[in-house]
Amino acid sequence: MFGRRKDGKRVKNISIIDKAEPFFMPMRIDAVNYAHVKINCESLDEFIKKEREKGNSFSYMHLVIASIVRVLYTREKMNRFIMNGIVYQRNGIYVSMDVKKSLSDDGEILTLKFPFNGTESLYDVKEIVDNEIAKNLDKNADEHATTKNAENLTKLPAWLLRIAMSLVRFCDRHGILTGLLLKASPFHTSCFLTNLKSIKLNYIYHHLYNFGTTSVFMSMGKEQMEPVVLKDNSIVAQKIMTLGFSLDERIADGLYMGKSLRLFESFLKNPDDLLERLPEKEDTQNKKKSKKVKDK
């Protein structure tokens, strides 16, 4: 309430444009920009082969998630969201993703949400992702929180469900949504990922949800052979994976987003950079508060 939320801190000292944009473009879908990143799979394949020889099994998905987590940590504005016209810095880093229990038309879909602090190595990311997927795909696993909440809501008559969702949206706008709902909701996440490569489809530009706080949506497409111009101007066919991004332009300007996408591309071109953990950042806000107290 009054600008306070359980999942983020209000960003102060921002420019006039940054303050005004959420009022010119009040809905997330109003502010969506699209971009794509092409990744030459040669470096990914070499890295995966090298790690397999050491006994480590990585997939493209592990590398993509580790790269976006690292970008969200080092480029803080990419982990912001807009709610009710206010800019927030998200508490923690989260990646949501749909997983089908079986690759059939009737296969149940689970929407999982992986929590990170941003300092994780690629090994840590793999462990978090694999453990969460295995836990929820287990036949004896308890019903997933997201599925359980959705099931409870959809049992309501349509008119009552409409009222319930209006109430949830109101609580979300005013920062009074419960911590349990925020934790379970896949729509309150730093990045939503759809792995279309796993079902042999090309990348898409997915829309951003107006419900929740997702500012980045990313889709992985299947690899395709494409012509590539080498340094000597010769043209060869190489395996390329394209990722589509949908971005809320209100969280950062074009230059900042462009640099962030280039950093993401750089991590996938040089996966070895993801093997080491990053040091924890200093809490500058608490530092400033303690300094003020000392000065008094």
Indicate whether 3 belongs to any domain.
no
Indicate whether 42 belongs to any domain.
yes
User: Using CA atoms in the order 285, 286, 287, 288, what is the torsion angle rounded to 10 degrees?
Assistant: 60
Give the pLDDT of residue 154.
72
Split at pLDDT 50, 70, 90, the class of 145 is low
Distance CA 122, CA 154 (A): 38
pLDDT, tens digit, 9 for 90 and up, residues 39-91: 999 999 999 999 999 999 999 999 999 999 999 999 999 999 999 999 999 99
Among 161, 140, 142, which residue's Cα sits nearest to residue 152?
161
Give the pLDDT of residue 255.
96
Sheet containing 8-10, strands listed edge to edge, beginning at the edge strand earlier in sequence: 8-10, 86-90, 80-83
Residues spanned by the domain of 278: 8-295
Among 48, 43, 70, which residue's Cα sits nearest to residue 59?
48
CA 235 vs CA 46, 162, 225, 269: distances in Å: 21, 56, 12, 20
Distance CA 291, CA 279 (A): 23
Q: Output Rg (C-alpha) for the chain, integer angstroms.
A: 21
* CA dihedral over 69, 73, 78, 80, signed as positive or negative: positive
* Residue range 200-223: mean pLDDT, rounded: 96
pTM of the predicted protein model: 0.89
pLDDT, tens digit, 9 for 90 and up, residues 4-18: 899 999 999 999 999
- Specify the pairing of strand 109-116 against strand 191-195: unpaired
CB 81 within 8 A of CB 8: yes
CB 97 within 8 A of CB 111: yes
What are the backbone angles phi and psi of residue 11, rounded to the nearest 5°? Answer: -90, 125
Among 126, 8, 134, which residue's Cα sits nearest to residue 67?
126
Looking up residue 15, the CATH number of its domain turns out to be 3.30.559.10
pLDDT, tens digit, 9 for 90 and up, residues 20-40: 999 999 999 999 999 999 999
Indicate whether 1 belongs to any domain.
no
Indicate whether 2 belongs to any domain.
no
* CA dihedral over 215, 137, 276, 288, signed as positive or negative: positive
pLDDT, tens digit, 9 for 90 and up, residues 150-180: 667 778 888 888 998 899 999 999 999 988 8
Split at pLDDT 50, 70, 90, the class of 100 is confident
For the chain, the domain total comes to 1
Indicate whether 279 belongs to any domain.
yes
